[in-house]
Structure 1
Amino acid sequence: MTSSPSPGTAPDAAAAPVTSSHPSEAGGSLSLPAVGGWAFLVTALIGRLPAATVQLGLLLYVSGAGLGLGLAGLTVAAAGLGSAIGAPLVGRLVDRFGPLPVVVAATVAQLLGMGSLLLVVLHDGPSALVLVFAALIGSANPQVGAIARARWSAIARRRRLPGLVSRALGYETACDEVGFILGPVIAGVLVGLLGPNPALGVLMAWVVLGQGCFIVYLLSRRGLAVDTHTLDVADGTAPRIRWAAVLPPMLVCLCVGTVFGSTQTVLTAINDARGTAGYTGLIYGCMGVGSALASMLVSRLPRRLPLSVRVAGGAMLVSLVALVLLSIPGPAVLGLLFMVTGLGVGTMLVSAYTRGEHVAPSHRIASVMTMLTTCLVLGVAFGSALGGVLSAVPRHGFLLTLAAGLVGMVAAVALHVTRSEPGRTVVE
């Protein structure tokens, strides 16, 4: 299914027709910069970094401002809840109006929330307001990653390059992992060097800079960033989201998020008990590195191997977590094991996003992508909370990680049997 650019659309180098003399070249041999353009790749990466920085930044800010670790934890929970509620709305608005006005409005709302939070803390305002503005900040996340994924889908459909989607979503997942790794580091450095109040001011500037870069890109390519909302709605017979097809990738994302959240909590408990707290971030980062590598590698495998790859990824995750449950090694070996575990996690995550793109109606791509991202965020929150309870005996927290891996593997297999949107051809 194809779509023509909207009237008045700015020229886009990425929109030039590409012909292929061989079916296997339908997006498979084209580099992502050649198709999407370096401007898109760079600004979409930079644009999602503030969201990865703000969450831990809020935790460190509230705690560093002397309001207590308990309120700091509730603040992060409020931001996560706000994100879970706001993300589907943001996705629906992007599908309806396009990304530019939504990203601009979300960025403005986020800055207002952060500025209001700063004023509340400076004037010793009530704790309830801290939570309200944290929820506003979370709900105003512009979901740059989901918008980027939707744009790749729009390009692939417009230019009839089905092989492009898997590679592009693998790259986007790797970008998310880069954000997961760099965001907390940036937040910790800012609060540690500048103190809480100046750090929050810098975080606001970081939001303007990072998301502003993506807004500038959208301005320069207005109408081409995501015009999936124009693909199926012209005749008024646009298909609806088929939840039976979307639920398996949502469940995979929920399970992957639970793996991330429980692992983070359990590693913290283990290293605190050992007196090696400084290694927690490094070991957790190893899993992110492994996941990022898998995201890039899996997208380059032959397209006829998706089911075997999903099973292998889930089995790798489950096996290694079970091994760690039997005997927890030292920091170096643990980091290596979790890097390999990350390969399994990344494999499942790319499979989920790819399948989500396949089964989503053309005019609801951004909505489905944000729902998958929301499930990932909710999984992290759930895994962190329940993992913290189980980690009274540190290694017991990995039981939740193991259970999430098993359920995720079953759900990843179910991705294979769901069908795509009627009228679309999906090549397994």
Structure 2
Amino acid sequence: MTGAYVEILRARHAARLLVGTLVGRLPNAVASLAIMLFVRAEGGSYSLAGGLAAVYGVANAVGQPLLGRLVDLYGQPRVQLPAAVASALAMAGFAFVGIGTLPLAYAAVVASGLLAPPLEGGLRALWASVLHKEGQVHTAYALDAVAQEVMFTVGPLLLTLCTALWSAQAALLVLNAVGVLGALSVVVSAPSRAWRSAPREAHWLGALRSAGLVALLAAFLFVGMAMGSIVVAAASYADDNGGDAVYGWLMAGLGLGALVGGTVYGARQWGGDPARRLRVLVGLLAVCYLPLMLMPSVVAMTLLAVLAGVFLAPCIACAFVLVDRHAPRGTVTEAFSWLVTTFTVGASVGTGLAGPVVEAGGALWGFAVPGAAGAVSLLVLLGTGRVLAAPARGAVVAASSENDPNRAVEPRFSSGDRA
């Protein structure tokens, strides 16, 4: 099972790009928690902490596709590194200004979120130039999805460790400085410096002029809602069954499930239409959320949480393949950044929706929300099946050093409909 991953990590530049991207994304991954810890340490209310974290999330959702478009236009080093430095400086300003002057605090948080570099989309744009075998690129997408689960587990631990050793302010400064170093490691690499997007058709919609991409984003809005809502439902269950420790076990179970599912999924090559396979994966994702409504003992509930997480990383990895196929020529980084934004917005909507549901019906109905969101995502995929369908077998374009494999405004896929 590990052979496919070892082969990828042995490829020149691959390990560096993956690790550098994860380190560079660390400040963004822990931003909401870091803001909340800092505001509480400064004596601010939970409402203020939540408001600042929400503003950061919205700004980040807006900034990712915009910066992704700039990367496609001007290359990675010219955009990624200045954005990383500016975002870190803005967060440092927030750390020094504190919450004494709220307009400045909000402005700093907005700037930091808006300027966070689109390293995630940038990495996926680089895989094709680093891994020259078509199947390896798809395995790299699965490895990417698994690595995200590791980052979202390790990141909060590093944040709380820095806070315990020094202070919440120091944690903000240190993690953002480390993030700049991660971005620097990526942009000075040969693949990043050499990468150029294919020429693009001038269009104000950019990547969103692809009907296939829009259909995929619509489906993943609801996948994000499922992830956002399950966090709230799990917190409600934990309140009645042991508190924060139980909540930590449930979140760890979800992460472990995604880690295992993504690892197994990426260890083999998959034939056939990736759009059809995504429908199966999303359907299984929705079904595996439903047993959580049984709300058994803590041990059994943790095992159900593992099951609920198994198909998340495979869904994300399969979605990466479809983004690659449907992104219009010259918009690959922007297209991947739109997927990040859509998932983030969906998670925020899911969190907001699950709150009133839990208050009205308890954790039982809270756990119904992710299952329902997954079902709606499946309906979107079924309803847009023709748009997402694989192109004709003869439509494959020869591989090239450019990352964008599409070669045309019309959707193409560089790997012979294999994913």
- Per the shorter chain, which TM-score range? 0.7 to 0.9
- Given that residues 252 and 349 in structure 1 are in contact (C-alpha distance below 8 angstroms), is that contact kept between their aligned partners in structure 2? no
AA at the equivalent of 1:333: A
- Pair 1:254 & 2:226 matched: no
Q: Which SS does the other structure have where 1:117 is aligned?
A: helix
Aligned-residue Cα RMSD (Å) equals 2.8
Aligned identity (percent) is 23
- Pair 1:152 & 2:127 matched: yes
Alignment of 1:377-396 (within 5 A): 377-392=344-359, 393-396=362-365
Return the alpha-carbon distance in structure 2 between the equivalents of residues 183 and 377 of structure 1.
17
- Pair 1:67 & 2:72 matched: no
Return the alpha-carbon distance in structure 1 between the equivalents of residues 25 and 172 of structure 2.
13
Q: Which SS does the other structure have where 1:251 is aligned?
A: helix
Distance 1:107 1:31, change over 3 A: closer
Q: Gaps (5+ residues) in structure 2?
A: 392-405
Return the alpha-carbon distance in structure 1 between the equivalents of residues 413 and 95 of structure 2.
51
Which residue in 1 is equivalent to 2:169? 200
Shift of 1:306: 3.5
Which residue in 2 is equivalent to 1:86? 63
- Pair 1:48 & 2:16 matched: no
Which residue in 1 is equivalent to 2:190? 221
Return the alpha-carbon distance in structure 2 between the equivalents of residues 136 and 188 of structure 1.
24
Q: Which SS does the other structure have where 1:142 is aligned?
A: coil
- Given that residues 288 and 339 in structure 1 are in contact (C-alpha distance below 8 angstroms), is that contact kept between their aligned partners in structure 2? yes
- Once the two structures are superposed, residues 240-269 of structure 1 have per-residue CA deviations (whole angstroms, 9 ceiling, x without a partner) of 633311012212332222121111111111
Q: Which SS does the other structure have where 2:11 is aligned?
A: helix
Match of 1:179 among 151, 156, 173: 151
AA at the equivalent of 1:263: I
- Pair 1:293 & 2:268 matched: no
Q: Gaps (5+ residues) in structure 1?
A: 1-26
Which residue in 2 is equivalent to 1:20? none
Shift of 1:185: 2.4
Alignment of 1:336-375 (within 5 A): 336-375=303-342
Distance 1:252 1:290, change over 3 A: farther
- Once the two structures are superposed, residues 99-138 of structure 1 have per-residue CA deviations (whole angstroms, 9 ceiling, x without a partner) of 112222112222222222123327x22x233222222121
- Given that residues 95 and 172 in structure 2 are in contact (C-alpha distance below 8 angstroms), is that contact kept between their aligned partners in structure 1? no
Return the alpha-carbon distance in structure 2 between the equivalents of residues 311 and 424 of structure 1.
20
Match of 2:281 among 313, 316, 319: 313
Which residue in 2 is equivalent to 1:408? 377
Distance 1:177 1:29, change over 3 A: closer
- Given that residues 245 and 359 in structure 1 are in contact (C-alpha distance below 8 angstroms), is that contact kept between their aligned partners in structure 2? yes
- Once the two structures are superposed, residues 340-396 of structure 1 have per-residue CA deviations (whole angstroms, 9 ceiling, x without a partner) of 221222222112121011111341110001000001111111111111221112221
Moved beyond 4 Å, runs of 4+: 27-30, 222-225, 412-416, 418-421
Return the alpha-carbon distance in structure 2 between the equivalents of residues 339 and 378 of structure 1.
24
AA at the equivalent of 1:324: L
Distance 1:285 1:411, change over 3 A: farther
Return the alpha-carbon distance in structure 1 between the equivalents of residues 246 and 156 of structure 2.
14
Q: Which SS does the other structure have where 1:31 is aligned?
A: helix
What is the TM-score of this pair, normalised by structure 2?
A: 0.84
Shift of 1:81: 0.6
- Pair 1:77 & 2:54 matched: yes
- Given that residues 316 and 341 in structure 1 are in contact (C-alpha distance below 8 angstroms), is that contact kept between their aligned partners in structure 2? no
Which residue in 2 is equivalent to 1:4? none
Which residue in 2 is equivalent to 1:109? 86
- Once the two structures are superposed, residues 139-169 of structure 1 have per-residue CA deviations (whole angstroms, 9 ceiling, x without a partner) of 121121111111114446xx4x332331111
Distance 1:224 1:103, change over 3 A: closer
Which residue in 2 is equivalent to 1:273? 240
Return the alpha-carbon distance in structure 1 between the equivalents of residues 413 and 71 of structure 2.
25
What is the TM-score of this pair, normalised by structure 1?
A: 0.83
Shift of 1:424: 3.8
